[in-house]
Structure 1
């Protein structure tokens, strides 16, 4: 290992004969030691289909990213690809994974590059986007997770044009520039067919103009009908649109979170009748829940104890009813004690304990 790293030029000239089991450890040492030219050459000669750069580049670094992209340029510039070349996916996402994981097998005609993107663009993200835009005919940059914050709509559209929308699996929309949605986001949103996790934060649709945006938003939203997780935080949609929004959830949905939004009795009625929520695993109605009815639900001690942390956060709760459930004396005591700080709570109904 040390001999290989002592003379970069010699090692580069013999990469064709380097046993493939040595590529990962040598590559890791070259990356750590900033052997720029060797790093570029090893990217171009990578004998596996998958290169998880995200497992090495924990902290974004423009210089190292440029070295990696330089290796891709070397590979793309070769008229005759090396016989050992297999690289199909270069993973630049900021995710926790082990560099030594099994190399996934891909067969791609064009090199695909994975990345996560947040629209507070940092230097390394700008570098990657510019590079990909110039090479869009030979390199496909695709994004699994994308966060759209307060950002000029024209730039959002320009960046979204780089990514295939049907590869995006997670989306966070955090902007009060919702009027930009029709012209800059809607056309992409409707093609996000793999979208499974969505978070909408601080979106206000109140006026008649906003209402038109809401109609367009929901019509496009419903096209990507595969939502397993939906989070609504501090949004304002007219209540007539809430039913349509919830109907976009996948069956069965895994998680629903609604915070800082005043749910009406009609909203709760729709929630209770929504078949898409019949197998919900995680629910969060923080600062929205006012009345909780858990009557004759065949709940035991462990079920009610599991609810306590969530109930403690429901500051708007006024009424709790857990009649006709099989619980012991200890559980009502814990419920009363845990909810003692909920200032709006005025009515609590508990079943007779099993001991009675």
Structure 2
């Protein structure tokens, strides 16, 4: 026989409050934080918004009631639905300021957020929530007009992280940039999969990009910049980096076409002086002068912890040029170098300059170029194992336990296999 567990005292208390509007409002002043959020969520999800507890706040605020027992200052809906009392950012003191509500927001046209919709409607109705704050904003796909209407109800100076993952064309991104400039406390910005209008002139393109980059001047707290498949970046990366007023800690540029002038400026600009994480995955570096990479690594040798140069087309001469600087990267923990065709001799030197580093813990390297030259099938196991065995002996000689993997990519099908020596 199936037996269901009796409801807990917590569940009974919550059910009682949901069924009794007057009791909910009266209990609001002394409501424990453990029950406030479950009560709030249940009320909204069951479309009992009239007893979502926020109506009780309306009544208390209207009467200028705030007793010493009132502990609630921040309703934090951004991190596992926690409620807190110490996460208010420094701002001007206001007498009997309304409760600050913090939430994360994902904007998708077909999947509206039920909780945020409820909160936004209260803001539009001017009910006790003029301080609706968003820490993390992710825009997946939505019309700009809808985004504008939503962002009007959010305090943009509270936003700390933004992700724009849309197939927007350049004019659309330029229109969104004015909102970006208001996010003065932004620390992380992710931009991916933007398109470029093929018929646009170089002059018009430059004007639109200048509109975008001019907003970055206002982002004095920006520390992480992630750019993935941003098609209009070529020839204008220097303009973006020059707009940054503080050095970045993390810079990811993935699958973006960059000009030689972009890369040359990148290796010298002040905003890349103190990078901790640098990813140039799928960015072609083959034609870049080896000295540029050397200069860049020399400048970040005291801070860089993660370096990703996967599938960059780096050549033997470029690797040889950067080895001395790479050997001085005292904080380097991980190096991703797969997909680059380098010889066995250069690969061995690369291992000898990185694996012995004190903080080095993980490396991903390609199989040597000879594996591709000596057989019509680079996935020939016997051919690869011969080189893997030689590489294993080198790692044993270096005598430092590390996580090291070697990768082999089929030039015909693109399938990658990893080998643990």
3-state SS in 1 of match to 2:70: coil
CA distance in 2, matches of 1:301, 1:88: 45
The runs of at least 4 aligned residues of structure 1 exceeding 6 Å deviation read 300-305, 331-337
How far off is 1:154 after superposition?
1.5
When normalised by structure 1's length, the TM-score is 0.70
Q: Is the 8 A contact 1:92 1:115 kept in 2?
A: yes
How far off is 1:190 after superposition?
1.6
How far off is 1:72 after superposition?
2.7
Pairs within 5 Å for 1:105-254: 109-111=96-98, 112-120=100-108, 121-135=112-126, 139-178=130-169, 179-183=171-175, 185-206=176-197, 207-208=200-201, 209-249=204-244, 251-254=246-249
- The structure-2 alpha-carbon separation of the partners of 1:280 and 1:133, relative to structure 1 and needing over 3 Å to count, comes to same
How far off is 1:169 after superposition?
0.9
CA distance in 2, matches of 1:295, 1:151: 46
How far off is 1:52 after superposition?
8.3
How far off is 1:188 after superposition?
2.3
How far off is 1:338 after superposition?
0.8
- The structure-2 alpha-carbon separation of the partners of 1:231 and 1:78, relative to structure 1 and needing over 3 Å to count, comes to same
Q: Is the 8 A contact 1:52 1:90 kept in 2?
A: no
Q: Which residue of 1 aligns with 2:395?
A: 330
CA distance in 2, matches of 1:174, 1:70: 36
Q: Is the 8 A contact 1:230 1:256 kept in 2?
A: yes
**Could you give the per-residue CA deviations for residues 130-160 of structure 1, whole angstroms, max 9, x where no partner exists?**
1122116763111111112321211111111
- The structure-2 alpha-carbon separation of the partners of 1:337 and 1:123, relative to structure 1 and needing over 3 Å to count, comes to closer
**2:313 is the alignment partner of 1:290:** yes
Paired residue for 1:70, among 25, 33, 55?
Answer: 55
- The structure-2 alpha-carbon separation of the partners of 1:299 and 1:33, relative to structure 1 and needing over 3 Å to count, comes to farther
Q: Which has the higher contact order (CA 8 A, sep 6+)?
A: 1
How far off is 1:197 after superposition?
0.2
Structure 1 runs not aligned, ≥5 long = 1-5, 7-25, 345-356
3-state SS in 1 of match to 2:337: helix
How far off is 1:51 after superposition?
9.9
Deviates more, 1:173-182 or 1:111-120: 173-182
CA distance in 2, matches of 1:82, 1:165: 30
How far off is 1:256 after superposition?
1.1
CA distance in 2, matches of 1:137, 1:198: 31
Q: Which residue of 1 aligns with 2:276?
A: 281
Structure 2 runs not aligned, ≥5 long = 1-6, 284-311, 357-393, 413-421
3-state SS in 2 of match to 1:146: strand
Q: Is the 8 A contact 2:167 2:193 kept in 1?
A: yes
Q: Is the 8 A contact 1:46 1:85 kept in 2?
A: no
RMSD of equivalent CA atoms:
4.2
How far off is 1:193 after superposition?
1.0
CA distance in 1, matches of 2:29, 2:269: 52
How far off is 1:35 after superposition?
3.0
How far off is 1:242 after superposition?
0.8
Q: Is the 8 A contact 2:74 2:86 kept in 1?
A: no
How far off is 1:226 after superposition?
2.5
Paired residue for 2:264, among 262, 269, 289?
Answer: 269
CA distance in 2, matches of 1:80, 1:136: 16
**Could you give the per-residue CA deviations for residues 284-336 of structure 1, whole angstroms, max 9, x where no partner exists?**
222222226332126289988831xx223xx4x34585568376722899999
